[in-house]
Structure 1
Amino acid sequence: MTRTLPTGSPAPLDLTAQDYRDRRGRLALTLQERGYGAMVVFGPARVSYLTGFYFAATERPVAAIVSDTGDGTLFVPALEADHVRQQCPDLGDPVTYPEYPGGGSGEHPLLTLGRELRRRFPRARALAADLGGYESRWGYRGPRLEEAAGLPVHEHLEFVDDARAIKSPAEIALIREACHWGDYAHGLMQQALEIGSDEMLVSHETSLRATRDMLAALGSRYVPKAREGLPANTMFIRGRNTANPHGLHQTGGVQAGDILVTGAYGVVGGYESELERTMFVGEPTPEQARWFGAMLAAQDAGMAALKPGRPCHEVEQEVRAVLEAHGAMPYVRHHTGHAFGMEGHEHPFLDLDDPTEIRPGMIFSIEPGIYVPGLGGFRHSDTLVVTETGAERLSLYPRDLQSLTVPV
């Protein structure tokens, strides 16, 4: 299968400072409605969402402070101060601390943050926050924000995450571009597959090749948002190991008769795509073809059911009805899909216990899976954006059995 090199859209491949100001403005309205003078946000993706500051999250606390007027300030270790000025010049100088756990200052960073919050908001009776304190990572230990600030802290991560669930046209354009490159990367991987192919080597080699092509095509329009990972990525697992929904790589090479469960995605402007396919090395057996057909019918049902105004759980119910009709329910291990964007999984979920209303602008994966012990797994995943009348598939890689059979 030959793959055409995407030419890329002429649209900007990044968000603007105004986009971030608008986000903080919408959060400010929520804070006003709920009676909070400020919100402290610790989650790295939430910080980036509100400010445009992308960073390597370590043991050193980072937080965004957003007031009920929409003003934004970053709280960072001193080593990140110049990084903030480069990425977010409109925010002004950040509030800094010397180092974690104190850098000789004798003061834990969270105590520095608490002191700054009391200074900025002396009349506050309570603060909103996405989390009660900085997340424990890389050895971090520290007080809760409530203790550090000397104020009640009410956790409301939904203030940010509910807004993140509805993607703007600019965000959708970035995800659409990412889908182009996920499709392209997957095609390179499929071309490279042959008997004896090593999972890890083929995955990494085609990821690097796709990234080189992507950067050559997009040039300076591509703006990296991380210091690790590649802009285009591929992977696959093979054989009976595919019966594990999140199976790890194995040593050894691809063999005739193997089932492959693959994945590929692009990253553009800090936003991801999602693409997964079930493939076969040589002609599938009747049993393999049966479960492939059942999975494909379930994914078709999920795509058709994804419509605005419906609760998430109804999509799952319709997909399960198809799986039940094919006798597949004993082999189902997870729900139909999830939202995503800046992170690989985001709220809400296409799950029996998620009543969230589906709304235009939401981005979902549709990925029902069937996992037969001793045989293998069967899962396609596609990126869809909810429209005013239904949903549009943004990942356009072939889904049919013939296109996904590797000749031997």
Structure 2
Amino acid sequence: MTPFAPHVYADRRRRAAEQAAQAGLDGVLVAPGADLAYFLGHGADPGAERLTMLVVPAAGTTAHGASDGVESALVVVPRLEANDLQHHAAGGVEALAWADGEDEHAVAARLLRDGGRYAISDSAWALHVLGLQRTLPGARLTPFTTTLPMLRAVKSPEEIARLAAAGAGADAVFAEIVRRPFAGRRESDVAADLDALLREHGHEQVDFTLVCAGANGADPHHDADTTVIADGDMVVLDFGGLADGYGSDTTRTVHVGEPTDEDREVHDVVRAAQQAGVEAVRPGATCQDVDRAARAVIDDAGYGEHFIHRTGHGIGLTTHEPPYMVEGETLPIEPGMCFSVEPGIYLPGRFGVRIEDIVVAFPDDAPHAARRLNESPRELAVVG
């Protein structure tokens, strides 16, 4: 990922410190992966068993031994990885290094308050969550998703530009894939084409290439396999990944040969539901309002029991992240939030239909409350 300017990461840490204080927290504990990349421009290795953790004290507090917990990021890091972290992170990093053989959780505990309350990355290893709790039995650790749900949810214009570029790349992929043959090929063959095309169109990482033909389309997360696509099949195509560090995720449903009236009817219902979900996006509405709007169209058409998942999910440095467009999520939509709108109908043993776009919420005074980042045709495409 091309890093942003160093001040961008310092501003993000400052915002996290302010949100932590507002939430009554003592600080924020950030694990390797997308969360760490968001605050440092470098995510370290999320699969490493050694403890790496950024500590952001809540506004108005300091961490013991930190010269400045915002301008200079304070990171607990294995000694053998400290130089690499400081080299790759954007902006200043103040490393609290520990050596193999030391109790890494005791080292981290020097920066924390026993009895304090901290938000910790959802992706933190249980090994480290339990290790910190053992070392600081009076401390309380709570996940980002429930404590600081807006931490990464609202994107800056620079982030939205990268998401838009990723979405445009995915649209270009769809424009090419529908010109290729489907009938007589395996799902895995088409999935391989999608993978190669995503990379050709600027993606450095491909996260998924779902190709779900015929009855497999009734399984929303069916992995492409050796199923041979046949004439008359409805085929769900769901694909995406990261381009310059930010995600794409789009779904279109195509038909091999001329569709039946029922095929068109189901597709039209999903397309209307997706449109209703997009139109429900506006500042002040809640995430569940988007789900309700899309679901109402499918319910009214008599297919309610066959819409079996949430309507959407956030997207950014990962292709799936908060917020989630689902019943019970009362988080208000704010300008800059980016998420998918992807209703579907799944008829067991027969076929499925899903249509998905990434949308961005805009202020009330904008020409449109929501902007799609995918503009490939939503009509039922007929392929050969």
TM-score (norm 1): 0.82
Find out whether 1:111 has 2:106 as its counterpart.
Answer: yes
What's 2:325 paired with? 350
TM-fit CA distance, 1:150:
5.7
State the partner residue of 1:400.
379
Name the aligned partner's letter for residue 188 of structure 1.
E
Find the partner of 2:175 among 181, 187, 199: 187
Check conservation: 1:53, 1:84, Cα contact below 8 A: yes
* Among 353, 362, 366, the residue aligned to 1:387: 362
Alpha-carbon shift at residue 183 of structure 1 (Å): 1.1
Per-residue CA deviation, residues 311-357 of structure 1 (Å, 9 max, x unaligned), is 22222222222112211112110122122212222222222211111
CA distance in 2 between counterparts of 1:84 and 1:39 reads 19
Is 1:75 aligned to 2:76, yes or no? yes
Q: What is the CA-CA distance between 1:44 and the residue it aligns to?
A: 2.7
> In the alignment, is residue 373 of structure 1 matched against residue 374 of structure 2?
no
Preserved CA contact (<8 Å) 2:44 2:85: no
Q: Find the partner of 1:162 among 115, 132, 150.
A: 150
Partner of 1:148: 135
Preserved contact between residue 210 and residue 233 of structure 1 (Cα < 8 Å): no
1:91 Cα deviation (Å)?
Answer: 2.5
User: Residue 176 of structure 1 aligns to which amino acid in structure 2?
Assistant: A
CA contact (8 A) 1:306 1:391 kept: yes
How far did residue 375 of structure 1 move?
1.4
Matched residues in 2 for 1:353 and 1:129: separation? Answer: 22
Tell whether 2:227 aligns with 1:252: yes
Which ranges in structure 1 are unaligned for 5 or more consecutive residues? 1-11, 216-223
In structure 2, the residue matched to 1:21 is 10
**Aligned mates of 2:54, 2:82 — CA distance in 1:** 13
Counting matched residue pairs gives 367
Q: Distance in 2 between matches of 1:92 and 1:110?
A: 20
Q: What is the identity percentage for the equivalent residue pairs of Structure 1 and Structure 2?
A: 28
- Tell me the distance in 1 between the aligned counterparts of 2:129 and 2:152: 28
Q: Secondary structure at the match of 2:377?
A: coil
* Residue-by-residue CA offset, 1:181-232 (whole Å, 9 max, x unaligned): 11122233323333222222332244224413538xxxxxxxx6xxxx34x9
The answer to whether the 8 Å contact 2:122/2:143 transfers is: no
Indicate yes or no: 2:185 matched with 1:197. yes
Mark the CA change 1:196 to 1:61 in structure 2 (over 3 Å): closer, same or farther: farther
Amino acid at match of 1:183: D
Higher deviation after alignment, 274-283 or 68-77: 68-77
CA contact (8 A) 1:195 1:256 kept: yes
Asked if residue 302 in structure 1 is aligned to residue 277 in structure 2, the reply is: yes
Aligned 1:66-105 pairs, distance under 5 A? 66-67=56-57, 68=59, 70=70, 71-88=72-89, 90-98=91-99, 103=100, 105=101
Matched, 1:39 2:28: yes
1:323 maps to which residue? 298
For residue 107 of structure 2, give the secondary structure of its aligned residue in structure 1.
helix
* Amino acid aligned to 1:23: R
Change (3 A) 1:17 1:255: same
* One-letter amino acid of the structure 2 residue matched with residue 193 of structure 1: P
| Equivalent-residue separation in structure 2 for 1:372 and 1:251 (angstroms) | 21
User: CA separation of 1:89/1:382 partners in 2, compared to 1, >3 Å: closer, same or farther?
Assistant: closer
Deviates most, 362-371 or 158-167: 158-167
Give the distance between the partners of 1:79 and 1:353, measured in 2 at CA: 45
Would the alpha carbon gap of residues 134 and 210 (structure 1) be closer, same or farther in structure 2, given more than 3 Å must change? closer
What is residue 65 of structure 2 aligned with on the other side? none
> 1:405 is matched by which residue type in structure 2?
V
Helix, strand or coil at the partner of 1:283: coil
Distance between the aligned counterparts of 1:34 and 1:301, measured in 2?
Answer: 34
Cα deviation 1:45-100 (Å, max 9, x = unaligned): 222222222233122222111133524222233343233122215233522334xx
2:224 & 2:123 partners in 1: Cα distance?
35
Moved more, 12-21 or 235-244: 12-21
Residues 61 and 293 of structure 1, relative CA distance in 2, 3 Å threshold = same
Q: Which letter maps to 1:256?
A: D
Relative distance call for 1:361 and 1:150 in structure 2 (3 A) is same
Could you tell me how far apart the structure 2 residues matched to 1:162 and 1:213 are?
30
Residue 126 in 1 paired to residue 101 in 2? no
Q: Mean alpha-carbon deviation: is it higher for 384-393 or for 55-64?
A: 55-64
Which one-letter code corresponds to 1:117 in the other structure? L
In structure 2, C-alpha distance between the alignment counterparts of 1:395 and 1:145, rounded to whole Å = 43
Task: Report the aligned-residue RMSD.
Answer: 2.6
1:9 is matched with none
Moved more, 360-369 or 340-349: 340-349
Take 2:326 and 2:2, find their aligned partners in 1: how far apart are those partners?
32
Alignment partner of 1:111: what SS?
A: helix
* Residue of structure 2 in register with 1:64 after alignment: 54
Deviation (angstroms), 1:34:
5.2
Give the deviation of 1:172 after TM superposition: 0.5
Amino acid at match of 2:329: D
User: Whole-Å Cα distance in 2 between the matches of residues 339 and 213 of structure 1?
Assistant: 22
Which region of structure 1 is more displaced relative to structure 2, 72-81 or 238-247? 72-81
Q: Would you tell me which structure has more helix in proportion to its own residues?
A: 1
309-318 vs 158-167, which moves further:
158-167
